[in-house]
């Protein structure tokens, strides 16, 4: 049991009393949402004690929790309410959660990104449930005139040894008159009943039935449809528009040119967009607008030179050749060690731009008037969107309403809300409610790509065939991929790390597990090459490095725990029976730390016509306490499949600034037959508070696959996509 003060944060708790009902309302941060089932709706209370943005209890004991967190498929709509329900000690079937809109006065970090929702909400959500439970107990003690310590709770019922009992709904109005307790006790993890129990996705039934959940489903009476046209190449913009024929087409209400971020507008970090000047077609239906788009005659003009993929490759390569400057980390004397080394191993790894390609296209509803703006749609960063809208629309933020819908994929793409800003500007310009919809081509050619990267690794060996020096120099478009304080920093006496960036007019942004999605592949592939040169088993080689980091770490800024890191490697080694001869099977291993979690993976493959057929992926994860094992396994499996698919097949390339891929006929995603035949996931049971899970399973799998391919073929894969290097 953990004693925790309830008032450490002014925003953490607000008790609100309603004159009409006197109900119990506890405000708290970091909630998520679930949706009432038909069965629950039938059981809806006759009276909610209070209807507002927080925890409310009905007269029949039903509990509703409002969610400020966007749901992007990471299943927080299930796992976060489980935290509240656990400490409230209510039956899970009596919990409903509704999606809250953006409200920065009541909630903090209304954001879907960084795999941090559970980690940041772990205490505050449980505290909310525990505080409500304590106040309910005090209310019952007051009504029955008994000491509160003589009362217990179970599944929403308060009991006394005398035989008295009451449901939460019976005492909620009394509880609302009490003061918030100064401190409450949180459960010991060994007493959890809901946390750690496999729980079905609360949106599951609606998803299966195809009911309206996503932004693309949203409709409003009188709403028009808008679609945009951006320049065909990066470095170009609109010069003139001939819309004569398009205006004559059925259902077309207007054709306009807009500038979503004019000069002088202060941009948020999320305002990443190379195309701010757009031609927009507005009409009655998607089909009519799409046809009118094709009839437009637009003249484009060049603003900057169009770039080619070969330019990017050469630019990154040249950066890696430059003398060392601006080292981001340097331990020992790597220069001397490399000059006197008995042997130096050098390899370079690279990866292309990647698109996000969410299954649900970008879309947003907007209704903007002179006095207010209402927006509804799928966005990962509503708070930052609100700040940009306030500047662009010249409205105070309290006049801007943003309601989040469930998202059909994001992977970082919906961190950047340009499509919502565009919808708002269009609505304001035409003075009508509109829904903006992107085609697949609109989004795939718009930008905010995962940057292209290159990294050069060097390892110095002494006469005893030991690794005594390590250098890594990394370069990327707009952002370099290296985390200088991560492994093997801290495990090598002489270490040098550098990051370099190449400018481009192609816009880039976060892509699932930013930077880690590439650097894990490069780092873990190179460590296998070093292990082979030294003549050691790749797992044993890594474990020796971790032993060094445990016993005598180099430097003081290492941002990983080597014992936990080694732990997942040992676990996956044991579960997969690494070292066992499996006829026809070739294996590769990888391990990586990101988003505060540790992952190790082993990939088993068979080769068929020069292509790897993935038989199984073994995955060990240390992410602390797992709130919902069912949802957690789903996330891990999805990350593994996503990582394999993009490493194997995907790339965005450019000719004269124009994307060479604009749909799935040229940009390949993983198909069912390409996915692993089996994935087995093992969680470390250590009782540590939860850490990230949505992204950490993706980065290491590419290296594990590449290392397995080498084991099978003798060919090292150092460039993505792998498909171009096989056969």
**Which residue, 256, 251, 206, is CA-closest to 229?**
256
The least confident of 126-130, 138-142, 220-224, 451-455 is 126-130
Please tell me the predicted confidence (pLDDT) of residue 519.
98
Please tell me the predicted confidence (pLDDT) of residue 39.
54
Q: What is the pLDDT of residues 382-413, one digit of tens each?
A: 999 999 999 999 999 999 999 999 999 999 99
- Residue 433 tokens read as 């409610």
Please tell me the predicted confidence (pLDDT) of residue 112.
83
Domains of the chain in start order, with CATH, are: 2-199 (3.30.365.10), 215-304+362-437 (3.30.365.10), 322-353+449-725 (3.30.365.10)
Run of H or E including 253 = strand 252-259
Helices (H), ranges, 503-628? 516-534, 538-551, 562-576
Q: What is the pLDDT of residues 658-705, one digit of tens each?
A: 999 999 999 999 999 999 999 999 999 999 999 999 999 999 999 999
| Distance of alpha carbon 635 from alpha carbon 74, whole angstroms | 7
- Residue 499 tokens read as 């990051």
Average pLDDT over residues 54-65: 73
- Residue 434 tokens read as 């509109």
- Residue 598 tokens read as 């540790």
Angle of CA points 101, 102, 106, to nearest 5°: 105
**Which residue, 616, 624, 601, 619, is CA-closest to 693?**
624
| Distance of alpha carbon 561 from alpha carbon 574, whole angstroms | 20
| Distance of alpha carbon 533 from alpha carbon 530, whole angstroms | 5
pTM higher than the cut 0.75? yes
Q: Show Cβ contacts of residue 230 under 8 Å, excluding neighbours closer than 6 positions.
A: 275, 278, 442, 445, 446
The least confident of 111-120, 143-152, 514-523 is 111-120
Average pLDDT over residues 630-654: 97
Residue 427 confidence (pLDDT) above 50: yes
Q: Which residues of 594-620 are buried (b: 16+ CB within 10 A; e: fewer)?
A: bbbbbbbbbbbbbeeeeebebbbbbbb
To 10 degrees, what angle do helices 516-534 and 538-551 make? 100
Peptide bond into 484 cis (omega under 30): no
């Amino acid at each position: 049991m953990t004693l925790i003060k309830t008032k450490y944060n002014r925003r953490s708790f607000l008790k609100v009393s309603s004159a009409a009902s006197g109900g119990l309302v506890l405000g708290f941060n970091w909630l998520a949402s679930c949706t009432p089932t038909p069965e629950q709706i039938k059981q809806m209370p006759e009276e909610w004690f209070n209807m507002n943005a927080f925890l409310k209890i009905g007269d029949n004991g039903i509990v509703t929790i409002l969610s400020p967190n966007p749901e992007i498929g990471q299943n927080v709509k299930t796992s976060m309410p489980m935290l509240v329900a656990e400490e409230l000690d209510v039956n899970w079937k009596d919990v409903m959660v509704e999606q809250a809109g953006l409200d920065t006065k009541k909630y903090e970090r209304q954001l879907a990104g960084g795999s941090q929702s559970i980690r940041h909400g772990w205490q505050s959500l449980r505290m909310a449930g525990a505080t409500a439970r304590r106040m309910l107990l005090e209310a019952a003690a007051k009504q029955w005139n008994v000491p509160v310590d003589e009362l217990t709770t179970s599944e929403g019922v308060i009991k006394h040894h005398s035989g008295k009992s009451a449901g939460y709904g019976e005492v909620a109005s009394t509880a609302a008159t009490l003061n918030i307790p100064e401190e409450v006790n949180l459960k010991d993890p060994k007493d959890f009943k809901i946390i750690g129990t496999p729980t079905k996705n609360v949106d599951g039934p609606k998803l299966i039935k195809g009911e309206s959940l996503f932004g693309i489903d949203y409709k409003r009476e009188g709403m028009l449809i808008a679609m945009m046209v951006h320049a065909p190449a990066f470095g170009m913009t609109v010069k003139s528009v001939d819309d004569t024929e398009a205006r004559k087409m059925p259902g077309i209400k207007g054709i306009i040119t807009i500038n979503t971020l004019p000069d002088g507008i202060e941009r948020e970090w999320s305002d990443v967009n190379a195309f701010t000047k757009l031609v927009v077609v507005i009409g009655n239906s998607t089909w009519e607008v799409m046809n009118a788009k094709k009839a437009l005659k637009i003249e484009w003009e060049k603003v900057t030179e169009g770039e080619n993929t070969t330019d990017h490759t050469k630019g990154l390569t040249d950066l890696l050749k430059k003398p060392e400057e601006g080292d981001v980390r340097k331990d020992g004397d790597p220069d001397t060690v490399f000059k006197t080394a008995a042997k130096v191993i050098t390899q370079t790894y690279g990866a292309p731009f990647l698109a996000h390609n969410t299954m649900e296209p970008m879309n947003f509803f907007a209704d903007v008037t002179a006095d207010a703006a209402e927006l509804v749609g799928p966005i990962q960063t509503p708070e930052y969107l609100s700040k940009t809208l306030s500047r662009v629309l010249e409205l105070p933020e309290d006049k801007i309403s943003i309601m989040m819908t469930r998202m059909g994929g994001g992977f970082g793409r919906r961190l950047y809300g340009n499509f919502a800003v565009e919808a708002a500007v269009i609505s304001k310009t035409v003075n009508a409610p509109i829904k903006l919809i992107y085609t697949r081509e609109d989004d795939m050619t718009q930008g905010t790509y995962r940057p292209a990267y290159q990294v050069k690794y060097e390892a110095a060996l002494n006469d005893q065939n030991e690794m005594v020096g390590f250098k890594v120099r990394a370069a990327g478009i707009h952002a370099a991929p290296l985390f200088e304080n991560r492994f093997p920093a801290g495990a090598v006496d002489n270490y040098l790390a550098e990051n370099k960036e190449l400018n481009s007019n192609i816009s880039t942004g976060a892509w699932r597990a930013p930077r880690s999605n590439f650097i894990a592949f490069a780092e873990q592939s190179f460590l296998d090459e070093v292990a082979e040169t030294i003549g050691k088993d790749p797992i044993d080689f890594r474990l020796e490095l971790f032993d060094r980091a445990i016993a005598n770490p180099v430097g003081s800024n290492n941002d990983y725990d080597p014992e936990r890191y080694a732990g997942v490697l040992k676990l996956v080694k044991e579960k997969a029976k690494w070292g066992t001869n499996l006829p026809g099977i070739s294996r590769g291993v990888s391990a990586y730390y990101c988003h505060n979690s540790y992952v190790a993976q082993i990939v088993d493959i068979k080769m068929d016509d020069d292509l790897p057929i993935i038989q199984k992926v073994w995955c060990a994860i240390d992410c602390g306490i797992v709130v919902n094992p069912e949802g957690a396994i789903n996330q891990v499996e999805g990350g593994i499949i996503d990582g394999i698919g993009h490493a194997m097949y995907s790339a965005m390339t450019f000719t004269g600034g124009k994307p060479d891929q604009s749909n799935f006929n040229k940009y390949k995603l993983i198909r069912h037959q390409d996915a692993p035949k089996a994935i087995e996931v093992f969680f470390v049971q250590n009782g540590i508070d939860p850490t990230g899970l949505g992204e950490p399973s993706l980065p290491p799998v590419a290296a594990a696959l590449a290392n397995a391919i080498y084991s099978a073929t003798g060919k090292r894969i150092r460039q993505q996509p792998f498909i171009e290097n096989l056969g």
